Amino acid sequence: MLKQNRELRHDFDEVFSLMMSKATTLNKQEQIPLSDGVGRVLAEDLFSPISVPAWRQSAMDGYGFSTLSSLDCLPVKQTAYAGNAVVPMSENEAIHIMTGAVVPDQVDTIVPIEKACIQQTEQGQYVFKPNAIESGRHIKSIGSDVKEGQKLLSKGHVIRPQDQALLASVGIHQLWVFQKVSLVIFTSGNELITPGNSLKKGQIYDANSFLIESLSQRLPVDVIANERLEDDEEKIKHRLAAWQGQVDVILTVGGASVGEKDFMKAFLASCPNFWTWKLNMKPGKPFSMAISQQTSILALPGNPLAAFMTFQALATPFIQKQAGIKEWQNKPAKRVLASDLKINNDRLVWCQVMETEQGVTPILNASSSQLMNLVESDGYIRINPGQSYQAGDVVDFWGIP
């Protein structure tokens, strides 16, 4: 049971499990054309309506004939091209055939054009049967790529370009997919201004709204609005209340800690279902969540690196599960550590790393506000509390696209 003690640091894995138990697939579906499918989440299993190839098909440019022919030198009576019909032929005839063309029923082997022995006479072209000949060579059988009725993709799969090509190859042109998760982003802070304006003393350019929206757009979501709010309790309350029940998820950035103007969390505390934690992790200690009027509100910290890590580690799987993605938990790859790593840490640390020929190299002494660390890193690794690592150890690695 998770306790909401302000002095207690909450275990990341416990918080993660609780959050994911609150994320349910929205199950709103729509039909879309295949051309719009990349990045969408399938709402049904897909099976092939046909076999591929649907007929016996030549795998090479060459000459086809029957191994049962009694002739050692066969007359070439026709040429077959991909997409064209062929004329029936006898066992004692050969065919000049191109890659992808239909293989006549009488043909059971194809000799590649570069290996064929051809003779041109006044009567026409002839091909010699090789001494060693094998039935079935260079002929693709019906269904050798895909069989009719074969399961292609599962419900919850995120369509990739290669998946789109596979579906097109069997003639599927419409898809039932889950609707995208509707999302609103709020960043807060009187110090934030839009790039393009002149900085006054004490102001900073707003980077978080760009960061979180761009990260969100890699997921199956519709970003309905991206607003920046002043540190005004009534205005924040009004804007958050306006979107409740209208969208699936609200992401807030900043105002999630315990400062005098951290009004985001103060509003969330008024929601019927509210959780707030000091996570035992770095970066990204403060994190809160609320569910109100079927809208999930996730409150990310304001420092860019902390906002990035809580988005990656907590918001991303939460949204992926809501979107209906079957494999919603992002699984790490394995990498070798290029150097010793000793951190006097009593909490989980998400450490930015660079990939080298020797393995991954940690970027140490990172401040949670240093965006250059994200730019220079190729990904991050998880360092558990109290653990140190030596060069050559295998670590969990998440890449940054």
pLDDT at 6: 47
Q: Does residue 203 have a pLDDT over 60?
A: yes
| Class of the domain covering 9-28+180-322 | alpha beta
Summarised one tens digit per residue, pLDDT across range 119-138 is 999 889 999 999 888 899 99
Scanning the structure block, which residue is given the tokens 């009488």? 106
Handedness of CA 29, 35, 36, 38 (dihedral sign): positive
In order of 4, 71, 337, the CA distances from 7 in angstroms are 9, 92, 34
Assess whether the previous peptide bond of 362 is cis (omega < 30° from 0).
Answer: no
Question: What tokens appear for 183 in the block?
Answer: 């999302």
pLDDT at 216: 96
Closest among 217, 216, 242 to 229, alpha carbons compared: 242
Helix (H, G, I), strand (E, B), or coil: what is residue 97? strand
The 10 Å Cβ neighbour count of residue 379 is 18
pLDDT at 229: 87
One-character DSSP codes across 43-59: SS-EE-SS-BSSS-EES
Q: Does residue 369 have a pLDDT over 70?
A: no
Summarised one tens digit per residue, pLDDT across range 304-322 is 999 999 999 999 999 999 9
Q: Does residue 5 have a pLDDT over 70?
A: no
Helix (H, G, I), strand (E, B), or coil: what is residue 114? helix
Tell me which CATH code domain 57-140 carries: 2.170.190.11
Q: Does residue 1 have a pLDDT over 60?
A: no
Q: Does residue 19 have a pLDDT over 70?
A: yes
Q: What is the pTM of this model?
A: 0.86
Strands annotated E in 145-270: 151-153, 174-178, 181-188, 192-193, 204-205, 221-229, 249-253
List every span in the chain annotated with CATH 3.90.105.10: 34-50+147-178
- The whole-angstrom separation of Cα 382 and Cα 333 is 11
Question: What tokens appear for 7 in the block?
Answer: 């002095």
- The whole-angstrom separation of Cα 308 and Cα 383 is 17
Given the candidates 3.40.50.620, 3.40.50.2300, 3.40.190.80, 3.90.105.10, the CATH classification of the domain at 34-50+147-178 is 3.90.105.10
Calculate mean pLDDT across residues 285-300. Answer: 92
Q: Which is it for strands 249-253 and 181-188: parallel, antiparallel or unpaired? A: parallel
pLDDT at 358: 92
Q: 253 with 188: CB under 8 angstroms?
A: yes
Mean of all residue pLDDT scores within the chain: 91
pLDDT at 190: 84
pLDDT at 257: 59
Summarised one tens digit per residue, pLDDT across range 235-264 is 888 998 999 999 999 999 987 655 555 677
One-character DSSP codes across 333-382: EEEEBSS-B----SSEEEEEEEEETTEEEE--S--TT-HHHHHH-SEEEE
pLDDT at 8: 63
Q: 253 with 240: CB under 8 angstroms?
A: no
Could you tell me the pLDDT band of residue 365, with boundaries at 50, 70 and 90?
A: low
| Class of the domain covering 333-399 | mainly beta
List every span in the chain annotated with CATH 3.40.980.10: 9-28+180-322
